[in-house]
Amino acid sequence: MSAAPWPQTLSMSAFREALPFEGEPFWQTVFEMHREKMQIKNSRLAVANLEKIFTATFALAAEKGFQAMSLRDLSSEAQISMGGLYSYIGSKNDLASVIEGVLRACIDEVVLRLQQADLPPVATLKTLIFSEIYMVELLRDWYQFCFMELKGLPREQQQLTLELELRFERSLVQVFERGIAAGEFRCAQPLMLASQVTAQLEQWHLKQWKFKLRKVSNDDYAQYVFDSLLRGLDCTPSAAQA
Amino acid sequence: MSAAPWPQTLSMSAFREALPFEGEPFWQTVFEMHREKMQIKNSRLAVANLEKIFTATFALAAEKGFQAMSLRDLSSEAQISMGGLYSYIGSKNDLASVIEGVLRACIDEVVLRLQQADLPPVATLKTLIFSEIYMVELLRDWYQFCFMELKGLPREQQQLTLELELRFERSLVQVFERGIAAGEFRCAQPLMLASQVTAQLEQWHLKQWKFKLRKVSNDDYAQYVFDSLLRGLDCTPSAAQA
DNA sequence: GTCTATACAACGATAGAC
DNA sequence: GTCTATCGTTGTATAGAC
């Protein structure tokens, strides 16, 4: 993944074009990321079957959970024989680990690019929130899976996930403090406010059923999270146009 | 469970005394709730062993997940033989269903009592939030379990859980509207605000590790959720003393 | 590279001795 | 009421034909 500049506009389509989180290029990246674990040489073939396997895993894990899903289930859902599966994955647990690894790499990529963009406080917050929501749109299955199946992963990966969340909130707080120093914001409990944002963003992928039911769009939700954050920062909507 | 009046003060200890969600009386209630499913007649013995079984289940499910936990694990953790276990539970799936049923009954109990209290808008919201936080304190294992293992439960129970969440948010919105009618609140998107509260309350039990780490207490967190709700309702802190 | 056939461990559940 | 012993099933994983 290359570190190109951040998209100029905040919209699903701009995000989609700027970041390689879907289609064949994405699956190609996934393939590179755990090439070692599999025995298949032919790249074209491998990428296609990887996609089938991961997609089937998401479907079954969403329905009944990863632990409850048997490899026989997976084999029939992915239309690949049991023996065939094992040329693509090292073991069942391995499959889960790889999924977590890919998602975390994607998140790191976004965080990195955003830091390089170096925007003013309000714009940074808005970009952070909208990007996270767009990200969930592209990688919903991955988020869902990683959240629900975290307990089944190696301790090391569990730890990395917790640290990612702490780092995210700390970086939010840093932006708050930049804005406070600039006289744009006021906030008594910045860390609690940061965790409010985390809670809202997490709810977006955890409770997709609820927002589908209420016909709340990506942008509706992102805008609401952003607005409520600005309220928490005692920041008037007019300043938000920055 | 009897429908006594709501505690006068909002504090953990008052809540603890007013509601029967811990200690021997609580386990007695649990016993009554699935007496049918078990073969043991002796009530004293049954209650004691039920507590051991449920406690062990929570420990193992929290560590590795309910599906990944075998009944042999459970048998040794609870210090009851495999055969013995089956005099207390109908089946493994049954055990999960009972847990969900008990928690939902507890929540219904609280909701019911709160409705009977019939307080003014601001007080209702404050009581709702603090009660929910106290509830999680007493029944943390149950909440944790039900959230994580929902997928493994019968469709009917999954549906009831979703409906409980929708009902909770609708009742929040109704309180908002009472306050708006009275000129106390202003709010453009009441349903979004309600789901913000849900997200924050859910985070309290989902991310216990985070708040333990930061030494945020029950009351700290409840107060923050309440304050941020009032901000969302455009309600000055002074009015909150009501 | 992909399949079928199979190994063997672990599972949930039960029967029957105590 | 509780235990040990055991049933049949299903799980992950692999070997070897094609």
Whether B5 is in a domain gets the answer: no
Contacts of A212 in chain B (CB under 8 A): none
Q: What pLDDT sits at residue B37?
A: 85
Identify the CATH number of the domain in which residue B76 sits: 1.10.357.10
The pLDDT of residue A4: 61
Model pLDDT, residue B5 = 67
**Residue A228: its chain B contacts at CB < 8 A?**
193, 196, 228, 232
Q: Cβ separation of A189 and B214 shorter than 8 Å?
A: no
Determine the Cα–Cα distance for residues B219 and B222; give it in Å rounded to an integer.
Answer: 5
State the Cα torsion A51-A54-A55-A60 to the nearest 10°.
160
* 3-state SS, one letter per residue, for B146-162: HHHHHHHCCHHHHHHHH
In a domain, B1, yes or no: no
The answer to whether residue A7 sits within a structural domain is no
Q: How far is B44 from chain A (nearest CA, A)?
A: 35
pLDDT score, position A239: 54
Q: Which among A67, A200, A214 has CB closest to B199?
A: A200
Tell me the C-alpha distance between A212 and A201, whole Å: 15
- Whether B183 is in a domain gets the answer yes
Buried b (16+ CB within 10 A) or exposed e, B233-242: bebeeeebee
Tokens 């940061």 label which residue?
A194
Residue A54 has pLDDT above 70, yes or no: yes
In Å, what is the separation between the CA of B80 and the C1' of D2?
A: 9
Query: Residue B114: which region, alpha, beta or left (left: phi > 0; alpha: psi -120 to 50)?
Result: alpha
Residue with tokens 């909701």: B111
Interchain CB distance below 8 Å, A151 and B64: yes
Give the pair of three-digit tokens for residue A68: 């409850």
What is the structure's pLDDT at A7?
87
Q: Which residue is nearest to nucleotide C11 (CA to C1')?
A: B70
Q: Is residue B7 part of a domain?
A: no
Tell me the per-residue pLDDT of A201-239, one tens digit each, with 9 for 90 and over.
Answer: 999 999 999 999 999 999 999 999 999 999 999 997 655
What is the rounded distance in angstroms from the CA atom of residue B199 to the CA atom of residue A176? 21
Counting the structural domains of chain A, the total is 1
Any domain includes A127: yes
Q: Is residue B43 one of the residues assigned to a domain?
A: yes
- Domain of A28 in residue numbering reads as 12-241
| Nucleotide of closest approach to B80 (CA, C1') | D2
- Protein residue minimizing CA–C1' distance to D14: A83
Q: What is the pLDDT of residues A153-188, one digit of tens each?
A: 999 999 999 999 999 999 999 999 999 999 999 999
Name, in order, each residue with C-beta under 8 angstroms of A158's C-beta and a sequence gap of 6 or more: A150, A151
Residue of chain A whose alpha carbon sits nearest to that of B202 = A199
Average pLDDT, integer, range A62-82: 98
Q: Which nucleotide is nearest to A43 (CA to C1')?
A: C1
| Residue B42, domain member (yes or no) | yes
Q: Residue A8: how many CA atoms within 13 Å on its side-chain side?
A: 0
Task: Decide which of A3 and A21 is more confident.
Answer: A21
Distance A80 CA to D17 C1' (A): 18
pLDDT on residue B236: 78
Q: What is the pLDDT along chain B (242 residues), one digit of tens a residue?
A: 555 668 888 999 999 999 999 999 999 999 998 888 899 989 999 999 999 999 999 999 999 999 999 999 999 999 999 999 999 999 999 999 999 999 999 999 999 999 898 899 999 999 999 999 999 999 999 999 999 999 999 999 999 999 999 999 999 999 999 999 999 999 999 999 999 999 999 999 999 999 999 999 999 999 999 999 999 999 976 555 54
pTM of the model: 0.96
